[in-house]
Amino acid sequence: MSVLFIGRIIQTLAGSVIWIVGMAILGNIVGAKHLAKSLGLAMLFVSAGLLSGPAVSGSLYQFVSYAMTWGSAFAVILVGTLLQLLIIGPFNYDTCIQECHIEEESQIRSPLLCSVSHPESTHYQTIAESTSLPTQNLRDHDPHPHQGRLPLGASSSGAIVPTPAGSIDDPRHSSRVAERPDWDAIPRDDRVSMPGPIAVPTRNSGTRTRRLVWWTDNKNTNRVIYIVTLLAIGVWRTLLLGLGAVEVLHGANELSHEYPGFFGPHGGYSRSFSMSNISWKLGMFVGPLVTGTLTERMGYYQMNVILALAGGSGDLGHYLQEELLRDPRYSVVILTRQTNPSTPTTERVTTQTTDYTLPSLLHILRTTRTTALISLLRCPDDQYHPLHTTLLEACQQTETCTRFIPSEWAGDIESFPTLPRAYGRTRLPFRETLAREADSQKTDPPSHPVKKIEYTLFNHGWCMEYFLPAHKSYRRCMPGEFPIDLTRWKYTVRGTGEEAQSWTCARDIACAVGRLLAADNGSWEPVTYVVGEWGTFNQMASLLERVYGRPFERDYRSEEGIGTTIQQYEDQPESLKLAIAEAEEWTISGATACPQEKTLRQREKFFAGMHFTTLEKLLWKAKVEERV
């Protein structure tokens, strides 16, 4: 690897020196009038070499041998050296200036009348062909002619120091190509930079844009786009460099005319071209490093993630949409059973109707290039496991989907895995399915690999919006589920009211999901917790009474009464009274309080710098805002 980097540094130095010196010599010889034509012709050969060289070398490597591939490079260098020997060099101005000064001095010291005349010998002085360039600097006498090359070397090094990663092969920097054509020789050098409008829509653009460029899904079309793009790069590169060189040359001439001697005794073409080259080379150097670093640190798809929200038209789905779209990396696909969804379609939000069968989900995930699937589904108990198993299979069978968040959104599921009881009947079996899948990914033989899906079970305790009037938020709770009823201004004290609880604002939940999706690949934990505030219902009831200035009517529900109701309706799984009793049992057990130590540790790991809303702050905010 060290030899490779040393070679690339040498290549960079040589390429930059040749480029800058060549541009200066070309400008010195042809002048501004003919520079564009000369540079265009030169760039034609340069671009042809850059374009055809990798293909030729790849073909030689594939069909002949490795030694022949390197031999061809040395053969080209040899031919180039021979051609350079045939080039007629420019007039040596330094020698001419010295000879002219010697001749002038001898004429001054010689007598006015020569004693011997030689009419047959006529003296001729070679005059350099006039150009449009200023020549006053060339006429200045230099007492140290060999030092005239030093400014050129210094200016050249100034341009090449910032670009050690290899600036000689400008069009082939290590930018990411979304999909490589299935060619043989071309992939030998498959690092060709693709312009944004061509490469981006094939992978990570918004879903609506992708539907507008559906034709990019065809591999044959992509090959044509690939070739046309390379040709366009060559054309535009020649055009820009030709015009740019003329502008640099004119700028140097204007400075020389306006400030004689500004560039010193040997002109300023090399330094001018060196300075203009810095921005070009620096951009070509920094750009791939930045994009490569972001891709490796964040992941290719995390640069512009497309999220599918199963059941995303519900209450929590509204908050997820709003908060995720604040981040320009995210585009959202809402999955719903509704045939006429009310969610408006925008550039970064689309709604897809599905029956949640595997073919339907596969079609949507593949068409939209979904990279992460989030489930917000509420469904009958007997449908939860098969439905989420289908969601998991859809992720595994698509090329782009790598992350999955099932529908949990509860409390401490690790200490209380069977509470609420409905979760024990539905979520617990699917958690076991996920655990088996994770184990199988570690033990499956390489011949039958299973695509790894990174998942986490996201939990937050109670939603803090349940403390607000219904019209103040998107969140809705089941009647009787929450112990505080603002409509009747009644507080049902379950158990003692001093059992530990946790609450989180819905917008904080959505924001935390966005932060989690931006985390490094492989960093997720099986269970993730976020909490805005810990406390008891007695404390929160007192806070509401203080903020609103009125006391609650209190009612009491004992632990024994809750158990009796559960036994009475346990054979009626669809009963509303059973659902309320199970929520009451969940409340008094402490299962609604997310584990504080783990939650705070994960807050530092995934959500550092994020400010979580407290209940008091949310209450005052709801007083001044229409909807929070």
Q: What is the pLDDT of residue 370?
A: 95
Higher pLDDT, 492 or 163: 492
Amino acid at 415: S
pLDDT, the chain, mean: 77
Q: What are phi and psi of 229, to 5 degrees?
A: -65, -40
Percent of residues, the chain, with pLDDT higher than 90:
43
Q: What is the pLDDT of residue 453?
A: 94
What residue spans define the domains of the chain?
Answer: 31-58+219-298, 305-624
What mean pLDDT comes out for the span 309-314? 84
Least confident interval from 32-41, 70-79, 253-262, 594-603: 32-41
What mean pLDDT comes out for the span 29-57? 72
What mean pLDDT comes out for the span 611-616? 97
- Cβ pair 582, 421 in contact under 8 A: yes
Q: What is the pLDDT of residue 90?
A: 53
Q: Tell which residue, 594, 561, 595, has the closest CA to residue 580.
A: 561
Residue 258 has pLDDT above 90, yes or no: no
pLDDT tens digits, one per residue of 427-461:
999 999 999 988 887 766 555 556 789 999 999 99
What mean pLDDT comes out for the span 85-104? 53
Tokens describing residue 336 = 């719903």
Q: What is the pLDDT of residue 427?
A: 97
Q: Mention the CATH class of domain 305-624.
A: alpha beta
Q: How far apart are CA 465 and CA 472, in angstroms?
A: 8
What mean pLDDT comes out for the span 287-300? 66
Q: What residues are paired with 353 via a beta bridge? A: 336
Q: How far apart are CA 614 and CA 186, in angstroms?
A: 58
Least confident interval from 403-417, 441-455, 579-593: 441-455
Q: What is the pLDDT of residue 168?
A: 36
Q: What are phi and psi of 473, to 5 degrees?
A: -150, 170
Q: Which residues of 204-233 are buried (b: 16+ CB within 10 A; e: fewer)?
A: bbbbeebeeeeebeeeeebeebbeebbeeb
Residue identified by tokens 């011949």 is 447
Q: How far apart are CA 328 and CA 204, in angstroms?
A: 12
Q: What residues are paired with 485 via a beta bridge? A: 490
What mean pLDDT comes out for the span 127-153? 38
Query: At 345, is the secondary structure helix, strand, or coil?
Result: coil
Q: What is the pLDDT of residue 25?
A: 72
Q: How far apart are CA 281 and CA 499, in angstroms?
A: 65
Q: What is the pLDDT of residue 138?
A: 37
- Going by their DSSP bridges, the two strands 501-504 and 462-463 should be labelled as parallel
> Does this model's pTM top 0.85?
no
Q: What is the pLDDT of residue 55?
A: 76
Tokens describing residue 287 = 């750009």
**Dihedral over Cα of 601, 603, 608, 609: its sign:** negative
Q: What is the pLDDT of residue 507?
A: 97
Q: What is the pLDDT of residue 288?
A: 74
Q: How far apart are CA 359 and CA 609, in angstroms?
A: 41
pLDDT tens digits, one per residue of 371-386:
999 999 989 899 999 9
Higher pLDDT, 244 or 303: 244
CA gyration radius for the chain? 37
Least confident interval from 59-68, 575-584, 618-627: 59-68
Residue 232 has pLDDT above 50, yes or no: yes
Strands (E), 445-537: 454-455, 457-459, 462-463, 484-485, 490-494, 501-504, 527-529, 533-535
Q: What residues are paired with 534 via a beta bridge? A: 502
Higher pLDDT, 212 or 331: 331
Q: How far apart are CA 380 and CA 387, in angstroms?
A: 10
**For residue 3, with 0-12 CB atoms within 10 Å meaning exposed, 13-18 middle and 19 or more buried, which class applies?**
exposed
What mean pLDDT comes out for the span 128-143? 40
Cis peptide leading into residue 328 (ω within 30°): no
Residue identified by tokens 């198993």 is 389
Q: What is the pLDDT of residue 447?
A: 55
When mean pLDDT is compared over 40-49, 230-239, 337-346, the highest value belongs to 337-346
Higher pLDDT, 26 or 519: 519
Q: What is the pLDDT of residue 84?
A: 66
Residue 575 has pLDDT above 80, yes or no: yes
Query: At 492, is the secondary structure helix, strand, or coil?
Result: strand
- Angstrom distances, CA of residue 471 to CA of 315, 466, 543, 622: 12, 11, 20, 10
Q: How far apart are CA 430 and CA 437, in angstroms?
A: 10
The whole-angstrom distance between residue 94's C-alpha and the CA centroid of its chain comes to: 54
What mean pLDDT comes out for the span 304-326? 88
What mean pLDDT comes out for the span 133-150? 39
Strands (E), 539-611: 553-557
- Cβ pair 46, 34 in contact under 8 A: no
What mean pLDDT comes out for the span 52-59? 77
Residue 193 has pLDDT above 50, yes or no: no
What mean pLDDT comes out for the span 111-131? 42
What mean pLDDT comes out for the span 123-127? 38
Q: What is the pLDDT of residue 517?
A: 96
What mean pLDDT comes out for the span 413-438? 96
Q: How many CA atoms lie within 13 A of 123 on its CB side?
A: 7
Q: How many CA atoms lie within 13 A of 162 on its CB side?
A: 17
Q: How far apart are CA 117 and CA 104, in angstroms?
A: 18
Q: Which residues fall within 8 angstroms of residue 346, CB to CB, at 6 or more apart?
A: 208
pLDDT tens digits, one per residue of 354-374:
999 999 999 999 999 999 999
Q: How far apart are CA 170 and CA 163, in angstroms?
A: 11
- Going by their DSSP bridges, the two strands 349-353 and 372-375 should be labelled as unpaired
Residue 516 has pLDDT above 80, yes or no: yes
Percent of residues, the chain, with pLDDT higher than 70:
68
Higher pLDDT, 450 or 201: 450
Q: What are phi and psi of 116, to 5 degrees?
A: -125, 125
Q: How far apart are CA 79 and CA 72, in angstroms?
A: 10
Q: What is the pLDDT of residue 547?
A: 95
